Amino acid sequence: MEGEWRLLEPVSYENLTVFPVVSSSRYDTSAFLTLEEGLSHGEVVVREQGAEVLVRNRGERDSTVRNYGGPSVNQLVLINHSKRPLLLLAGELVSGGKQDRIIAKDRIVAPGSEPLPLDVFCVEHGRWSSGSQFNQTKIIVHPSVREQAAVTKSQTEVWSSVAGGTAASSPAPGRPMTAAQAPRVSADALRGVMSSEAPTQSYAKIYESKYVGTSVDTLVEEIERRFGRETRGLKGERVVGVVVAYGGEVAWSDIFASGELFEAYWGKLIRSYAVEAVARPTLREKASVEDAREFLIRVGGNEQTESEPGVYRWRETKRGKLSQIELEALEPKVITVHRLVLRRTS
């Protein structure tokens, strides 16, 4: 697919730069249901293990109540009641239950499938109480947390990145950070927010707090304004993704099979990139188009794959500090629905 993509001019504000990725290819992704849409319409149900789950029996009008194991920090139960395949992205947050959780990895859930044991990570360290039901949020956690879930696969590192803001390293030795280069939101400031506004260390409460959220809102508004201006008036092409840089370092990319899918996630993604930016040093260097273009080229190296016949194939490839994760839908034809490339911080 990389030959189908083209980079537009970068959109920058402070230490965040976003390179729009456009394509003239057309892939029909209208069949896919997003998690936010499915939860908000009641077509998708997420519950704690051990909670009673209402299951609609195939080909029958009645339903049965089932119970699946006991509560687990790193596993929930998901049911897709809809007639559409459900798309899940690593880092999407579901709120409620005994703790807020994030999806552990990209995958597709077949329509009308049996209750699915769903791998997750906790992003609310200080709570294990209350109900079993989960609700949709408009949150994808920021790249440092997504990396620890999708690549490192470590609950401890997920918690560390939530509390610390970023897993990115400081400037190189010999180049001490000046006061002007310090992050707008430091780890100390995050600890203060957790003490005063988010005692359970809830991701949503930390990063939507008055102190942190105001800095993030300013960055989001300015990037969105400039992004809209740069991508306005495209002829025969659609924006299908972005490559993201912090200071002079290209660090991340999210690219989708269609402009429609990108638009469905863009509001959540831009906020996640902005959260990462306010936690990183405010270095003023700008990444080059040549550096960004590397994130459009297929990563070759060691591969791991996972699949469900007739539904999806997940593939992770690592080379050096780069990791590439591709999610392919297998029906009705094979298409790469989402492609993530990141520069690992560890």
Whether pLDDT at 68 is above 60:
no
Span 211-267, pLDDT tens digits: 899 999 999 999 999 999 999 999 999 999 999 999 999 999 999 999 999 999 999
| Domain assignment present for 149 | yes
Residue 293: closest CA among 11, 3, 27, 16: 3
Task: Give the number of domains in the chain.
Answer: 1
- pLDDT confidence bin for 130, thresholds 50/70/90: confident
Is 39 within 8 Å of 134 (Cβ atoms)? Answer: yes
* Confidence at residue 113, expressed as pLDDT on a 0 to 100 scale: 78
Mean pLDDT of the chain: 91
What is the extent of the structural domain holding 39?
2-55+68-168+179-343
pTM reported for the whole predicted model: 0.92
Span 278-323, pLDDT tens digits: 999 988 899 999 999 999 999 999 899 999 999 999 999 999 999 9
| Domain assignment present for 202 | yes
The SS3 call for residue 329 is strand
| Domain assignment present for 313 | yes
Is 202 within 8 Å of 123 (Cβ atoms)? Answer: yes
Residue 240 in tokens: 């299908």
b/e burial code for range 297-325 (CB count within 10 A of at least 16 → b): eebeeeeeeeeeeebbbbbbbbeeebbbb
| Domain assignment present for 244 | yes
Q: What is the enclosing helix (H) or strand (E) of 319?
A: strand 312-319
CA separation (Å) from 235 to 8, 18, 23, 269? 13, 21, 10, 24
Cα separation of 201 and 162, whole Å? Answer: 8
Contact partners, residue 75, CB within 8 Å, separation at least 6 = 49, 117, 118, 119, 120
Span 159-202, pLDDT tens digits: 999 999 998 865 555 566 676 688 999 999 999 999 999 999 99
* Confidence at residue 169, expressed as pLDDT on a 0 to 100 scale: 67
DSSP 295-314: GGSPP-SEEEEEEETTTEEE
Whether pLDDT at 58 is above 70:
no
| Domain assignment present for 32 | yes
